[in-house]
Structure 1
């Protein structure tokens, strides 16, 4: 049975906090061992380990103090046993002093490396906010939440994308997944979101919005070289919430089917007319169609990328969000996505192998128009 993630986090914090005492413990252990063993035995390894450990765990001041303490302890014990005048004793003390000085250099190198890393993280976060800005938490009766989970530790953006816009035709949403990784995928994400923001404001139907996305991504793909020019594609699902009526419209271009949640029940909304992913429309007939489904008060739409459904446990079993969410009720879209991510981490044991973009939209109770009230 795996421990709760909160408990594991507390244990990690406790360990990191107490690791800071390790240099002092090494010095004390070295002195005790050196003093209580025969004169020919040396605890030089403890004296050199203390400042090097401090270099990795502590500040510059603590590293310097640790080095001074190591040299002082070694000098005191060498003097006590009468070895300070011997060449072996002086060589030992010189070695401890040299390692202590080197520990200061290592501490500074690690500090500047950490500064560069933090700067890179801030730049990555700025890029993420520019490419994938956080949508408003509410538009009229709709409450909105998004989460982005990268498979790469400390990465802020990958090949998954989401977008939410308040347009003249209603609130329109997009969740997509670019085939491939790296900067080429990020470029495609940028193109797809730029095309979506423009088309969603101008095109009267979701099918035409998808068509604009298709053309923009196809132009971008033709600028690539190698296999990405012909093999790159984007799966996507678009949703539209009209201002009047309790319904929504969906266009699915080769993407995992959205889920509708209401009262503990979960329904998968499969497209009535399957369509190829974006940029592959020229390879087959049909551009897909918009499906209209009921979206009464208290219902939540969950859009996600395949990083969710392809998450596996240790036995290789895929994560099934439909089954895992059935019978559960949530106070809102944020609570749903938080619980979903926690459940996925438990399912996989914390091993995330693909990016995940999650978008949930809930129609609040009591603020709706006069549309139908059909169930899901």
Structure 2
């Protein structure tokens, strides 16, 4: 069933064909009832026709079938008692069909309205996500990139996982993060951090200075109203990287976030941070000194950045998704192909439904 601009149902050809089922039932019951002996009454079976119609039809279709059932019941009464007013029994059956038909029509109208509202909500959430969290461009200087966002709730399609990239004079800066919490508060915090990153990432500042600026921005927003210097329970884990255009090590600061993975010739290597910084938003409590980690990123390597919704995804038996183990031996030639395979593998592992939002960014270095 589809809807037109006026909000009324527009049955697809298959639904139109299915209408023949309740109509055939009405005809069969009516003919059989008329031919049977007077003490046998099949009229009550007519209610099955409008009752099954909402499975494939909208309000108009249900109303039409219900009207046909009422007409059929009236004709049965007239033919069974020719020359007389409808018996009390037949009158009761007609009234029952009218009430059932009206109830089903109202049900379909409410259902169609809710479906339209849900469609509008999905459209708004998708638009908001494209504004707050647009997909990464396919090319970032010498890098090829791809991004994936999987929302736990199909109706929401937006949450607190985040990623962004910014070009600088010497390379590309990336951030992947995860806001503690859910709902619109998490979306607001994610938007705040992304805005701060886009403003500051291209400036001529060190990676430590950039992360310190991001932490101050988040701390300022998370301060409880009327309580200067007091911080709420929200924070954001993040990994911030600086990838040079020319050959050279990647610089990274991890703020309590899952470590990146380098996939080189099908062999994954986890880039652990021996001295991780606290999550963004908690810097005012610890006065951190940001330690910059370095690692090599060669041509043809795939760099994987992800949120904990990936590694904490569970299968029906409660087993976490073993990311490094599952991707061992994968030799996809580009980030898009890798993400297509990854998405299929992750959803297969969890049985098609995630318990938490999950995001991944895949970057590959090409020759300048």
Give the TM-score of the pair, scaled to structure 2: 0.85
> Residue 336 and residue 17 in structure 1: after superposition, are their counterparts in 2 closer, same or farther (change >3 A)?
farther
Q: Which residue of 2 aligns with 1:234?
A: 236
Q: Which residue of 1 aligns with 2:361?
A: 359
Q: Which residue of 2 aligns with 1:298?
A: 300
Question: How far did residue 141 of structure 1 move?
Answer: 2.3
Q: Which residue of 2 aligns with 1:309?
A: 311
> Residue 341 and residue 70 in structure 1: after superposition, are their counterparts in 2 closer, same or farther (change >3 A)?
same
Indicate conservation of the 8 Å contact 1:24/1:50, yes or no. Answer: no
> Separation in 2 of the partners of 1:251 and 1:163?
15
* 1:319 correspondence with 2:327: no
Q: Which residue of 1 aligns with 2:42?
A: 42
Q: Which residue of 1 aligns with 2:63?
A: 64
> Residue 229 and residue 283 in structure 1: after superposition, are their counterparts in 2 closer, same or farther (change >3 A)?
closer
> Separation in 2 of the partners of 1:152 and 1:224?
30
Deviates further, 113-122 or 249-258: 113-122
Q: Which residue of 1 aligns with 2:278?
A: 276
RMSD of aligned residue pairs (Cα, Å): 2.7
> Residue 25 and residue 280 in structure 1: after superposition, are their counterparts in 2 closer, same or farther (change >3 A)?
same
Question: How far did residue 49 of structure 1 move?
Answer: 4.2
Aligned with 2:338: secondary structure? helix
Question: How far did residue 88 of structure 1 move?
Answer: 1.3
> Residue 329 and residue 225 in structure 1: after superposition, are their counterparts in 2 closer, same or farther (change >3 A)?
farther
Indicate conservation of the 8 Å contact 1:135/1:164, yes or no. Answer: yes
Indicate conservation of the 8 Å contact 2:59/2:106, yes or no. Answer: no
Deviation per CA, 1:90-117: give whole Å up to 9, x if none.
Answer: 2211221233234333333322322222
What are structure 2's unaligned runs of at least 5 residues?
Answer: 1-11
> Residue 203 and residue 280 in structure 1: after superposition, are their counterparts in 2 closer, same or farther (change >3 A)?
farther
> Residue 298 and residue 62 in structure 1: after superposition, are their counterparts in 2 closer, same or farther (change >3 A)?
same
Deviation per CA, 1:282-330: give whole Å up to 9, x if none.
Answer: 3446433222211111111111110111111122111011000001111
Question: How far did residue 30 of structure 1 move?
Answer: 5.6
> Separation in 1 of the partners of 2:41 and 2:300?
75
> Separation in 2 of the partners of 1:109 and 1:188?
36
* 1:74 correspondence with 2:73: yes
Structure showing greater radius of gyration is 2
Indicate conservation of the 8 Å contact 2:311/2:320, yes or no. Answer: yes
Question: How far did residue 20 of structure 1 move?
Answer: 7.2
> Separation in 1 of the partners of 2:13 and 2:162?
37
Question: How far did residue 64 of structure 1 move?
Answer: 3.2
Indicate conservation of the 8 Å contact 2:22/2:65, yes or no. Answer: no
* 1:208 correspondence with 2:204: no
> Separation in 1 of the partners of 2:225 and 2:125?
24
Deviation per CA, 1:158-177: give whole Å up to 9, x if none.
Answer: 11111112223421111101
> Separation in 2 of the partners of 1:208 and 1:70?
76
Aligned with 2:61: secondary structure? helix
Q: Which residue of 2 aligns with 1:163?
A: 164
Indicate conservation of the 8 Å contact 1:163/1:175, yes or no. Answer: yes
> Separation in 2 of the partners of 1:242 and 1:288?
19
Aligned with 2:187: secondary structure? helix
* 1:350 correspondence with 2:321: no
Q: Which residue of 226, 235, 255 corresponds with 1:253?
A: 255
Deviation per CA, 1:102-152: give whole Å up to 9, x if none.
Answer: 433333332232222222222111211111122211122211111111111
Number of matched pairs: 349
> Separation in 2 of the partners of 1:41 and 1:251?
80
> Separation in 2 of the partners of 1:153 and 1:90?
48
Aligned with 1:278: secondary structure? coil
> Separation in 2 of the partners of 1:240 and 1:352?
31
What aligned pairs does 1:126-145 form with structure 2 within 5 A after superposition?
A: 126-145=127-146
Aligned with 2:117: secondary structure? helix
Give the TM-score of the pair, scaled to structure 1: 0.84
What are structure 1's unaligned runs of at least 5 residues?
Answer: 1-15, 369-376
> Separation in 1 of the partners of 2:352 and 2:209?
40
Indicate conservation of the 8 Å contact 2:26/2:69, yes or no. Answer: no
> Residue 332 and residue 85 in structure 1: after superposition, are their counterparts in 2 closer, same or farther (change >3 A)?
same
> Separation in 2 of the partners of 1:239 and 1:79?
83
Indicate conservation of the 8 Å contact 2:219/2:231, yes or no. Answer: no
Deviation per CA, 1:344-363: give whole Å up to 9, x if none.
Answer: 11111123100011111112
